[in-house]
Every structure is written in C-alpha cells, then in structure tokens.
Structure 1
C-alpha cells in the first residue's frame, strides 16, 4: 500500500503522483453493523447501504473494515489449504472438479478466463459448495471443521451485506437475502474457493498470467488476500488500478448477476492478477480465499427497473453457461 508523509507531502512528492494515488485508491466502508451484537440502527443500515451503493456504482469494488471475521481464521485455512496444494499431482487430481459439478480441485489451466491462443493461467484452486461435500479428509483432516466454521461466518457477513445493498437501493431489506436462502447447499452455486498461486518459475512461457482479465459470475464476491498482492482492477478511464492487500479488510466486488439485476446501476468490473515483476514476489506462493455469492438456482434475474436491458435468466442457467465457457474437461 502506497503511503505519504503528510508533513512533507507537497515538498517531497510531485503533485501529479499525489493526484494519481488519490484517484487510484479503492473506496473503503466500515461495515460495523453489530454482526456479533445487537441489531444495527436504521441510520447505520442507511450509512452502509449508501457507501456500498456509491462504490458499486463507481468502480464496483469496496474494502470492508470491521467485518467480524478474525484474521487468524483466514491464516488457518490458508495454511491448511497449503498442505493440500503441496500434495503430489495424482493425489490432488483424485478430487478434481467437473465443469458443472463444482466441488473440488482445479489444476493449472483447467479454468481458462481467456480464449487467447498461447495463454496460460498459473494457479490452482479448490471449490467448496457444501462443507459436507467432498474434501481431502484423508490428507488434511482439520480442513473440514475449519471450513465449516468459516462458512457460517461468511454467510452471516453476506446476509448483512445483502441487506445493506437492498437498503441502499431503496428496496425492502429482505429483497436480496430472500433470494440467497440456500447458500451452502446443492441448490445454490455459492462457494468458497481456496486459491494457490505457486512460485513463478525463472522462465515462464510467453502469455502466462495468474488470472486473465474477467468479471465474476454471481451477485458479489468477497476476497481475503494475503500480503503478496498482484490484483488489479480496471477503472472507468480504462486504466488498471492496483487493489493492494489492506490488513484486516475484505475486498468485495460486483458480479455479472448484480449488474444485470440493477440494470447497470452497479458495475461488474474487470479485474486480473498478474505475474509479479520483482524477483522476491515471484519466488513466493500467493494465497487467497474467495467467497463467490450466487442467488438460489431457481431465482429469475431480470432488471429491477423493469427495463429490457437484459433478458431474464435463472441464476443457475447463467452460471452453467459461464462454467461451460471457462472450464476445461
């Protein structure tokens, strides 16, 4: 994260650099809505709803502070998932996910977010749609109970976010939460993704990236980054802005479905993860945890303003189409 010494800001730092820093900084929102205490006041719901709506309508991303999920839980799951990703390839492939059956392991290049010839995407992942589903219990026994606890906290935080979004849009508080009641089941494609970006070899093939530019498929995405960094977001001026890891925050962004739903009021923004340029960053693994939030499979998504800007589509049909476009058998 870039920082400036306020006392010497205008004497030591060129003003153009200051303006660029201020322009590129992604917005933040304190979401201290009493996740672990009493019901928030209407004023607090409105404050958070307005701040999130402003961020989602502009760059489509926002850092949340005071989100209620302890950093030690993030570190615990990253450590446990790291144990899995260090296993031999044959063992990991026993848990390979399918194109539509989403629970399981994805090897490098199994998910391709670009169709450009000669490109490679250097990452591994494990998707968890149901904490009671297939997991590598024999190899990493502690992973399932840790994910079970994490999923409960994620769903509570997501419920608060969905409520605040509805308030910000002037809808009934329960509008979005009522469309996401089956998270964690086979009737909703919401999932936890454990991501592992291995150290970059000294000589990588031309066209190699970690994640190609893309938008997410669902309603919103919650991202917990480690301190390695590399995520970039495309802003409205078509420039790539660094989404630096901020300690203690979760980075939330708009997915395709929410952009359809809000008739472009909220923006699903392209983002990517590049190969690091520095030798130190290239020599270490990068890990992150992602919570992809989707409506229940049978929810029909159509613009809230009644326009014909987008054709109605069920949440399941939209997600299956995107999986078919990006996953390799």
Structure 2
C-alpha cells in the first residue's frame, strides 16, 4: 500500500481508443493510481445512470422482502442466492484478527449458465444457473443488464491494464473467457454505539480477485488503509464508480499494481446499500507474474497459482455455506 490521503479520480471517457492521447492519458493515470493507492474513482464510464438507479431500487426491493422469502434462495454450492447476516466471516484476513461475522446481508449472482453451457458440461467450478426471488418484477432483467454492462466495461479495463504493464493489448483476453464474475447487492445495518471494536460491516481485507467495480449510495462507510496505517474515507461521488485492484492482479503484475486493504464501518445511523461487481479470471487459469513485469530490478515475487483451487479455498474459509465439515 502507498502513501495517500485521498482517492484519485480517473476519467475513462476515451477508453474505447486503441491509440492516441486519450487512451495514453488513461494508461498514465491508472499506472499512477494503482501503483500507489490501489483505489480510484472512475468517471465517464458510460454505464447509464438510470440503470444504476434501477439496480439500487431492486436491491432495496429485495432486502425489503420478508426473511422467509429471501431464505428460500439461500446461498447454494454454486455461490448464488441470498447470504443472511452473520454467515460470512473474513477468517483469511491478514489485517485483523476476525472472529465475528460481517454485519451485512446480500444477494449474489454470477454468469447465467444452463445445462448446454460449455462450462457446465465440463464441470467447471461454480458454473450453473442463478437463483432468483419470486414476486419482484424486473429484478432478473435489471440485474442481468447491469451484470452484462459491467462485464463489458471490465474487459475494456483489462485491455488498458495490459498497456499499463507494458504487455500486448490482448494479453488478458483468453484469461477472462469467460470470466468468473460476481454481482452482489449488499445491505449494511447501522452499527450500534455499544458494538465491539472487532465487529464490522466488512472486516479489513483485500479483494482476492482482479478488479472490483463498486456502486455505492450516499451513506458512506468504506475506508481504505494507507501505508501510515490510517483509514481514509471513500465518500460517495455522483456518477462515479470506485474501482480497486485485487490480489490476483497484484500477482499478475508482480506487485506493480497494489491490492489495498479496505473495510466498511457503518456509523451513520442509516442503512447502507452498495453493489460491488467482482471481475476475476476463468477458474481454469493459472495466475503467474507476466514476463514483462519481471526484470533484474524486480525479480519474480510470486509462484503460479491455480485460480479455481484458490477460489474454492477462499469461499470455503469465508462462507458458512462452503465450509468443509470435519
């Protein structure tokens, strides 16, 4: 993690360029932001504000359902469905001793895959259909539209990151074909004044994938840790996403891009809603530092890792639904 006291803002309006001053400016800004902070706001991302507004409304609609309705689609072995409060714990956190579950509940979806999908036929980890709640008109359609938009955006961001690292524009194309991607609709209850110090909305952690794109409401509560050990607030900025780098991209870049610790503490007295989208490699990919990121001054820092096996371990450790019973 680097030394910073605020989160930079990057205009990605020219991200569709393959060459020229616009894309070169984005490359420079991403190289600086994610080589020091690991987090940035991205603006002019071309995702329609109306779609984002509809997404948050569907999140409120879902979380307003009675518990008996939500629990009908409780998180399954394909990591899709409803995650009740007190069932997810960041036991792998290297940043704090975490013994208590995160104070949040959420709905999670992934790429829709039916029995004819190649990933399902080959038995890929987590490949399969989503679970959808009953009685919420438009819920599946809005979430699927947003999921597709963010998938498209992240593919474009990966092309830019390849340029940031000095690699070919299409370096990551096959590594995310298809991607492992998660969309979560999270609700954080307000923290109580007498709650213990180790009870978090989301405990201190780094994301274990590649790219996280966060849409957040105006409540606040997200904080990022700098090299001085200070927790820096990441407030809401209208029409922006918050984007951060995860552990796999940190590994691919041989440490050049930073996976920064962050947490959520909701002390506002209001419910907090956020919609993170996690964009990660295909489960059959091995992640190892790119040759262009290794030299005499920066020797190889990481061994190759099987992403699918790594992901399985992370989910088994962090979620009651995936925990291996002895």
Confirm whether residue 212 of structure 1 aligns to residue 208 of structure 2.
no
Q: Size of the alignment, in residue pairs?
A: 294
Residue among 57, 68, 71 paired with 1:90: 68
Residue among 311, 321, 324 paired with 1:319: 311
Structure 1 range deviating more: 289-298 or 199-208: 199-208
- The 3 A distance-change label for structure 1 pair 301 and 120 is closer
Contact 2:220–2:266 (CA under 8 A) maintained in structure 1: no
Contact 1:46–1:164 (CA under 8 A) maintained in structure 2: no
Confirm whether residue 292 of structure 1 aligns to residue 288 of structure 2.
no
Shift of 1:120: 3.9
TM-score normalised per structure 1: 0.83
- The 3 A distance-change label for structure 1 pair 202 and 264 is closer
| Aligned counterparts, 1:179-198, within 5 A | 179-183=175-179, 189-198=180-189
Residue among 137, 146, 155 paired with 1:141: 137
Query: What is aligned with 2:37?
Result: 59
CA distance in 1, matches of 2:165, 2:244: 16
CA distance in 2, matches of 1:67, 1:52: 14
Residue among 221, 235, 243 paired with 2:226: 235
Shift of 1:25: 1.4
Poorly superposed stretches of 4+, deviation over 6 Å = none
Deviations 1:88-146 (A, max 9, x none): 22221111114x52111111121111474653421011111124633334221311111
CA distance in 1, matches of 2:98, 2:41: 34
Structure 1 range deviating more: 52-61 or 68-77: 68-77
- The 3 A distance-change label for structure 1 pair 58 and 118 is closer
Structure 2 gaps, min length 5: 114-128, 322-326
Residue among 226, 236, 241 paired with 1:245: 236
| Aligned counterparts, 1:91-110, within 5 A | 91-98=69-76, 101-110=78-87
Shift of 1:207: 3.4
| Aligned counterparts, 1:1-20, within 5 A | none
Structure 1 range deviating more: 169-178 or 89-98: 89-98
Contact 2:90–2:98 (CA under 8 A) maintained in structure 1: no
Confirm whether residue 113 of structure 1 aligns to residue 107 of structure 2.
no
Instruction: State the Cα RMSD in Å.
Output: 2.1
